[in-house]
Amino acid sequence: MTQTEAPLSKQPPAAAAPRERSVRVVMAGLLIAMLLAMLDNMIVGTAMPTIVGELGGLNHLSWVVTAYTLATAASTPIWGKLGDLYGRKGIFLTSIVLFLIGSALSGMSQSMDQLIAFRAVQGLGAGGLMVGVMAIMGDLIPPRERGKYQGMIAGVMAVAMIGGPLVGGSITDNWGWRWSFYINLPIGAVALAVVTVVLHLPKRKPGAARIDYLGASLLTVAITSLVLLTTWGGTQYAWGSGQILGLLVLGVVTLAGFLYTETRAAEPVLPLRIFRSRNFTLISVIGFLVGFTMFGAMTFLPLYQQTVQGASATNSGLLLLPMLLAMMAVSMVAGRLTTSTGRYKVFPIVGGVLITIGLYLLSTMGVDTSRTVSGVYMAVLGAGMGCIMQITMLVAQNSVDMRDMGVGSSSATLFRTIGGSFGVSLFGALFSHRVQDVMASRLGGKGAAALGGGAQLDPKAVARLSATVKDGYFHAVSAGTHQVFLWGTVVSVIGFVAALFVVETPLRGAGPKEEVPADGAPEPVDAV
């Protein structure tokens, strides 16, 4: 191993200091790109009730999110593999450009169908943003040293998660929801400029390598089929209908075909060998479940706050602060402790407990729950997420060889994204079904007429309801959120059990005798 190939912890002190400064400069550019992706989710989340109400698709709130997450899930493994084969910088910049195109088109949408389609384009670009940041960081920094950089990531998360809802709410209230998408354009331009100037990675020779498009296509069809099944089952179609059974068969067949294809492909989009690592498999399950619960919470909490608690879009962003601040603080502490001790197993275990407790507490909210009480509940959930958010990626990258850094990072992101897709669609179906049932039982035909065939009303529509119907709708939304978070509690228990079986293996770069696997190691990486 040459000096330029050595991890940071093994370089002579004279060489390590300049290189660390170079890495920090590169990290600044990467974090701006990460901010772009995180801000979008936070800004759009608080604007969603207004968006859905204005475009007339009152029953499509979950689909605006699902289209984005589905496209992200489908493209994530491809971005990771492309980066492994052709070099990360060009692929990363391409994903930023595609994300910005999707943002501009989403802001110009004139119908719900257009918005859903353009959110899918935006999601295709987003699939490469987080993967690119994590994979490039994995190339530059050994896992043991990566904990101290988690403070930077936690800081970006804080800016996005605290500022995003505030900015999103303020933009929605004052400029209109379209600027929730247009705001990405200047931030994206800065990210493109900074990454282009400061990040210099060696070009890779693609040779005869091929992308596993068949595997990617089969995986996309499988994910889409199963998400549609959870979205439509029991609401738009009966569980025993031909449409739902057809989706189930299609999902199972394409998933089996995908697994078979990955054993035969020369360059599998998701190499099954990485699942030989017990830790990687377990952390993938945990990441899936975190995505499942996190996306559900971030989608339905603003709806509850704006509807039942009477908050404006701006104020609903402020009301999320307890969860976001707790997540940021705990994430920073977890990163520092991991760097100083090299130990990490305790965090997914404690995180699993806190997430379970937080979701159960949120399930107890009703029409009379105060903002203070709900804030305490959200803080518990946020602390649990903070224990797990960064640790899952750290463990995943530490569990694969350097040659698989891209697909390892993309796979960890993929499972979290798939979990989010299933969470939003399944929670959306449960929420809609429960709201409609409660409205029908409390108000009869008057309740169904008020909903107009949907399950969500924007704040302006709620304000126009009579006192009786409005009270019924508040109880219905409370019942719907109770259903969502109660099922989230059940799911989170599985993540806690999985965390108990994680094996605390040494982090690469932890000691002088520890070597980074040489087989398939990436070429030297020089920043700036």
How do the pLDDT tens digits run along the chain, 528 residues long? 433 333 444 444 434 444 555 677 777 778 888 787 777 766 776 677 677 667 765 556 667 777 887 787 778 778 877 877 777 788 888 999 999 999 999 888 887 778 888 988 998 898 888 778 877 877 777 766 666 666 666 667 667 766 776 777 777 777 877 888 888 888 888 888 888 887 766 665 555 556 778 888 898 888 788 777 876 776 677 778 888 899 999 999 999 999 999 888 877 878 888 888 888 889 888 988 888 887 777 778 877 887 888 776 667 667 778 887 888 788 878 877 887 787 888 999 999 999 999 999 999 998 888 888 999 999 999 899 888 877 787 788 778 776 676 677 777 777 887 787 778 777 877 888 888 888 888 777 666 666 655 555 666 677 677 778 778 888 888 888 888 899 989 989 998 999 999 888 877 654 433 333 333 333 333 333
Tokens coding 279: 């830790």
Is residue 2 in some structural domain? Answer: no
DSSP assignment letter at 348:
H
CA distances from 184 to 43, 76, 134, 179, 416 (A): 10, 20, 21, 9, 23
| 405 in the same domain as 363 | yes
| 381 in the same domain as 445 | yes
| 165 in the same domain as 85 | yes
Is residue 456 in some structural domain? Answer: yes
Is the Cα dihedral 214, 217, 223, 228 positive or negative? negative
Is residue 495 in some structural domain? Answer: yes
Tokens coding 521: 């190691």
| 250 in the same domain as 283 | no
Which domain, by its residues, includes 461?
A: 15-212+266-500
Is residue 402 in some structural domain? Answer: yes
For the beta carbon of residue 363, count every other beta carbon within 10 angstroms. 17
Q: Which of 241, 265, 289 is the last residue of a domain?
A: 265
| 180 in the same domain as 61 | yes
Is residue 525 in some structural domain? Answer: no
Is the distance from CB of 200 to CB of 22 less than 8 angstroms? no
Is residue 3 in some structural domain? Answer: no
Is the distance from CB of 229 to CB of 244 less than 8 angstroms? yes
pLDDT of residue 143: 65
Is residue 409 in some structural domain? Answer: yes
| 352 in the same domain as 254 | no
Q: How many domains does the chain have?
A: 2
pLDDT of residue 234: 66
β-pair partners for 237 = 233
Q: What is the CATH number of the domain that holds 194?
A: 1.20.1250.20
Is the Cα dihedral 251, 253, 254, 258 positive or negative? positive
| 166 in the same domain as 129 | yes
β-pair partners for 233 = 237
CA geometry: angle at 284 spanning 387 and 38, to 5°? Answer: 60
| 273 in the same domain as 245 | no
Is the distance from CB of 455 to CB of 59 less than 8 angstroms? yes
DSSP assignment letter at 522:
P
Is the distance from CB of 522 to CB of 403 less than 8 angstroms? yes
pLDDT of residue 380: 94
Is the distance from CB of 307 to CB of 470 less than 8 angstroms? no
Is residue 523 in some structural domain? Answer: no
| 125 in the same domain as 221 | no
What whole-number distance in Å separates Cα of residue 359 and Cα of residue 383? 12
| 235 in the same domain as 188 | no
Side chain identity at 146, as an amino acid letter?
R
| 363 in the same domain as 280 | yes
pLDDT of residue 8: 40
SS3 (DSSP) at 482 = helix
- Burial code (b: 16+ CB inside 10 Å, e: under 16) for 284-302 equals bbbbbbbbbbbbbbbbbbb
| 200 in the same domain as 82 | yes
